Structure 1
Amino acid sequence: MPPEASPSLPHGLSRRGLLSAAAVAVGATVASPLLSACSGKKSGGPGTTSKSDVDRALPAYLANNSVNADVPSVTGVNGAISDPCFLSYPTSPVTTVSGLVGSGGSYTTMTPLWGAIPASSGNAYYATVNKAIGATLKLQPSDGNTYGDALPPVFAANKLPDWIMIPGWLNVQLNLGEAMTTQFADLTPYLAGDKAKQYPNLANVPPAAWAAGVWDGKLYGIPSYPSAAVFNGAYFYRKDLLDSAGVSVTGFKSADDLAGLGKELTNAKGGVWAFDDLFGQSAAYVSQLFQFPNHWGIDGSGKLIYKYETEGIVEALNWYVKLVKAGYVHPDAIANNNQNAKQRFWSGKVLIQVDGTGAWDGLDAQSGVAANPGYVRQALPLLSPDGAKPPTIELGNGAAMFSYLNKKLSAAQIKECLAIANYLAAPYGSAEWLKVNFGDEGVDYTMKDGNPVLNAQGNKEVATTFQFLACPPAATVPKNGFTQVAKDYAAWQGDAVKHAVKPLFFDMNIAEPSQYSAINKPVDDTIDDVRFGRKPISAFTDAVDTWRKQGGDALRTFYDGIRSKYGTGQ
């Protein structure tokens, strides 16, 4: 997975660097079937579900309001709600789970981990959480950077663990639509409707987060890091360095406002450039700025149109080419070297970059990471192409990752795992959340300025593991004392939800025909060549024409069938 693409995951997801490697979640999660679905029949293939069937499979929502946020959620538009912001942990955390949780069972798990993998032997953190849940979860995290390579052999050998987390961006690669009924347990009988109320912490997860865990009308997935405000990312700038240069972004509204900083901030002889890659892989970030869809959209005549076919992407290419030709973009970005993009920003070699919102957690301002002790990351306000149109930001699925239980488990084992998941999903501010995320006070963490902070042992033992199996709705919290960062992010997200737009086929699992899975790559490669000035804009339009002939038009017919039969989103 490309390290640049961390956009769609919730803020502050991991203390161990997960967000540096996550990928973009598009509006419709797709999984490649074993059959061709482009025949003109109005069938979505494996995975596709009507809204009414999704609603029947979803757990009934039961909000947990036991802890009041310091900065309450903001209700925006199109179902977007910002995450609550907590500036300090309650001195007397509430208890949300009473009595026995597990029944002494033992379960193998498989989850990714972006960062150092802790030793499992003698790990006090693992031991204390397993003791709390009354069962043994055998945690064997796998390198997140190669997780996509590790999973296929496990599927092929039919050696799935009891409990596994699968990021949505691997659905196609794993042919997940076909795997659901053969490999994973149907959770609908245990969680649909009011049945979820026996697991109140799971019922506290918003319905939009569960929706993409529904396949063929049945619920299979347990959401990981759910949120009602998942966004593709932000345009970040080094506020400390812009302030030093006397440059203000107050009143910025348009793409040209942003471009105007190029000349003002670039000092190539001094090793400083205004911009890093502002486009993103497959136009993931610039689509927000120029207001074209990340996947499919509808044109003025009501016709389905893919992002390659929009006027917006052509405008974005022409805009970006000017920045490159003017010398305002860092040479490593032009060379498509994104491995060091974060470091370029931290060190002040570039002053404006795009990244996922999870990068905005304050941890990059720690000593030894950023070169400038006064380092401050801020996000630009949402912009539009010309500043006249109101800005928009595309809403991502309520969850981009799900965990699944093995179909071989008995009903009693499934219930035990769901009881464990209910414990792991305890909300921020609870005693259970503190245990799951930090272990025992004095062993793996201490309290500092009202918040838990990992100590030396905790930094070796505690990693994002249990949370990939189940966790509560996202919350914005300070990391290592960076309270202002939490406030700033909460304010940005609170504004963003007011401009949220749902993409077409939002929160739907669609089994896209596998024979067309590779047709986008030549276009994406051409986009890179055009935006970096290696080819003319005509090369892009030619590539799109080829894309249509090689399957783009067939996919349009396929999605028209889904649109006709199942609608365009949840």
Structure 2
Amino acid sequence: MTPNSPSSSAPSRRRFLASTAVAAAAVAGGMPLLTACGGSDSKDREGATSGKEAAKLLPTFVASKFADPDLPSKNGSAAGYTGKVELSAMTASVAAKLGTGAPLKIMSPFWGSPPKADCAYYKALDTAAGTKVTWQNQDGNTYGQKLGAVLASSSIPDMVVVPSWELVGKISNAVTAKFMDLGPYLAGDKVKKYPNLAAIPSDSWRMGIFGGALRGIPMPTAAATFNIAYYRKDIFDKKGYEVPKSPDEFISWAKEATSAKAKVYACGDMSWTAFNIFGVRPSGTLGWHIGDDGKLTYRIEQPEYLEALEWTRKLFDAGVVHPDDKARSGDAGQRFGAGQILMYNNDMSAWYGKTAEQAASNPDFKMDAMDIFGPDGGDPQLWSSQPANVWSLIRKGASKETVENALAAANFAAAPYGTKERILVDYGIEGTHYKVKDGVPVKTDQGNQEVINAWVMLAAPAPYFAHPDYPDVARKQVEWEQRMGAFMKKTSTYGMNIVEPTRYANLSSQFEQLEIDYVRGNKKLSDVQQAIATWKSSGGDKLRDWYKKLIDKNGSGN
């Protein structure tokens, strides 16, 4: 079940990008000790493992089935549960505790205020899983900085959560150097000791291969996971606005909807939507792709890259973007809730989070998601997300008992929908953290304070949406992904967990800030073009050759 508290929603992509920038800064020079993570064998940690070689490392897949989804996965979407689950009829996914109660230290990113170490929620999870976890929760917005420092030190917690957006530069090499091969515990049929981990899709497990070994326990993601342009449906309906169906329609609507005098603006920064509209590939390793012409290019070399930036700049130039979004201050989500902007970008979690947040104070509030269109108003070209984007890893040198307790915790966190473990992870203790109202668990104030992003970061079942208190949101989430997934294509590097050579660690680090500056009118088009040319000459072309060899060796991801 997905917790029914807006505070427990997954972090927004704004925060993801912020932490990426921090990690990049650490690698660029803020964390010089990271050089200690390299060494003479650093080349052994570069590249990727896929195909037959990867198959030898993967756990055996054993599907679990505790509740049939009302909306099965389609076109790469998550599954959806819109009906109520009989709480009293739920069973445990594992008959006996897998943990021995041995102490375990876990470091994880955390968004919000962490609960006390001895809170009722942590105690209940430890009792049920047979674990004794000491949480070392770190601010998710600056997690890359802390992660870099910890990986450069000689004191690493027993288990560390590593998000994909922090895997930049030498941090990728450090992951291979500092965390253990879990193959002896999980490869093949060994995983059957941990049935919830065995039920994680093989594509997601493949993303847990670092440096030729299975090191990461994955948090699976749906392939049709895209950044969303949310709009205020209640205001659209009231004003009679039509949802835009082309880039030109969007600009026309934005001009009509903006009233600076009334302090209402059409939108926030729509850069992420622009990249989707114009078919620009994601940043990072997924940005590489062999086109129909047989040429391997990176995202910034796509003609559509500049087209997306130019369209976004038109929005800023037209004065339809809120001044605070232009200044990159405050929270766009709060402006959206207040009706100061009528459309903004965020990840899928915001659909439920904002709906729940606004329910009491603004009962007329309704939000929906704009379908992505192509540059000409036709079908878009969307690019599949990787099948996992967060991993929990166990430090090298950990005792067998520590490893088994860490795996027990991850197995508990990965419990499927409709199980006792799932409701405990997502809602806590009945009567303390939630109450049952009309057959639906509803969090108490204590639940909203304690049952937030900690255990959910260790592992997860196959992707699904379920909001018992707002089932219509779950339905809309799945249906949107299914519609958009029909236009999805995989890049040549899909499904590969690629560690680039450290010499290219900062090669693309300038582009995020350059994009921000250009769309706001602070840089010229020629500045972006020059940056692309410099990228090629200062290592981009050599990195392309490296990727060519990697794809020739491993095969294309699509």
Per-residue Cα deviation, 1:286-340 (whole angstroms, up to 9, x for no partner):
22110121212234421111221111122223322322222222222223x1542
Partner of 1:507: helix, strand, or coil?
Answer: coil
Deviation at 1:131, TM superposition (A): 0.8
Q: 1:12 to 1:288 in 2, by over 3 A?
A: farther
| Counterpart for residue 75 of structure 1 | 74
Taking only aligned residues, the RMSD between alpha carbons, in angstroms, comes to: 2.9
2:225 is the counterpart of 1:231:
yes
Which residues in structure 2 correspond to 1:91-490 (within 5 Å)? 91=87, 92-121=89-118, 123-172=119-168, 175-180=171-176, 182-224=177-219, 226-229=220-223, 231-249=225-243, 252-280=244-272, 285-294=273-282, 295-335=287-327, 337-367=328-358, 372-388=362-378, 390-478=379-467, 481-490=469-478
| Counterpart for residue 558 of structure 1 | 546
Per-residue Cα deviation, 1:265-297 (whole angstroms, up to 9, x for no partner):
1111111111210004xxxx4221101212122
- Return the letter of the residue paired with 1:168: S
CA–CA separation in structure 2 for the residues paired with 1:97 and 1:470:
16
8 Å Cα contact 2:81-2:474 kept in structure 1 = yes
Per-residue Cα deviation, 1:37-78 (whole angstroms, up to 9, x for no partner):
99xxxx885252132211221112211122122x222321xx
After alignment, is 151-160 or 162-171 more displaced?
A: 151-160
CA–CA separation in structure 1 for the residues paired with 2:385 and 2:44:
21
Q: 1:512 to 1:84 in 2, by over 3 A?
A: same
How many residues align structurally?
A: 538
CA–CA separation in structure 2 for the residues paired with 1:421 and 1:205:
11
8 Å Cα contact 1:274-1:329 kept in structure 2 = yes
Q: 1:100 to 1:16 in 2, by over 3 A?
A: closer
8 Å Cα contact 2:77-2:478 kept in structure 1 = no
Q: 1:459 to 1:45 in 2, by over 3 A?
A: closer
After alignment, is 391-400 or 530-539 more displaced?
A: 530-539
Per-residue Cα deviation, 1:90-111 (whole angstroms, up to 9, x for no partner):
3311221112321221111111
8 Å Cα contact 1:12-1:476 kept in structure 2 = no
Q: 1:477 to 1:35 in 2, by over 3 A?
A: same
CA–CA separation in structure 2 for the residues paired with 1:428 and 1:512:
36
| Counterpart for residue 30 of structure 2 | none
Which consecutive segments of 4 or more residues in structure 1 shift more than 6 A? 10-14, 30-33, 35-38
Partner of 2:294: helix, strand, or coil?
Answer: coil
Deviation at 1:492, TM superposition (A): 0.9
- Return the letter of the residue paired with 1:54: A
8 Å Cα contact 1:36-1:514 kept in structure 2 = no
Partner of 2:544: helix, strand, or coil?
Answer: helix
Deviation at 1:236, TM superposition (A): 1.1
Per-residue Cα deviation, 1:350-376 (whole angstroms, up to 9, x for no partner):
111111111111444534897x43111
Q: 1:435 to 1:11 in 2, by over 3 A?
A: closer
Partner of 1:139: helix, strand, or coil?
Answer: strand
Structure 2 regions of 5+ residues with no counterpart?
28-33
| Counterpart for residue 6 of structure 1 | none
Deviation at 1:438, TM superposition (A): 2.1
CA–CA separation in structure 2 for the residues paired with 1:319 and 1:391:
15
Structure 1 regions of 5+ residues with no counterpart?
1-9
Partner of 1:141: helix, strand, or coil?
Answer: strand
CA–CA separation in structure 2 for the residues paired with 1:12 and 1:381:
25
8 Å Cα contact 1:255-1:385 kept in structure 2 = yes
8 Å Cα contact 2:196-2:412 kept in structure 1 = yes
CA–CA separation in structure 2 for the residues paired with 1:539 and 1:369:
48
8 Å Cα contact 1:89-1:452 kept in structure 2 = no
CA–CA separation in structure 2 for the residues paired with 1:221 and 1:152:
17
TM-score by length of 1: 0.87
Q: 1:488 to 1:201 in 2, by over 3 A?
A: same
8 Å Cα contact 2:217-2:392 kept in structure 1 = yes
CA–CA separation in structure 2 for the residues paired with 1:278 and 1:100:
47
Deviation at 1:411, TM superposition (A): 2.9
Q: 1:363 to 1:199 in 2, by over 3 A?
A: same
After alignment, is 499-508 or 12-21 more displaced?
A: 12-21
After alignment, is 315-324 or 398-407 more displaced?
A: 315-324
CA–CA separation in structure 2 for the residues paired with 1:410 and 1:13:
37
Deviation at 1:247, TM superposition (A): 1.0
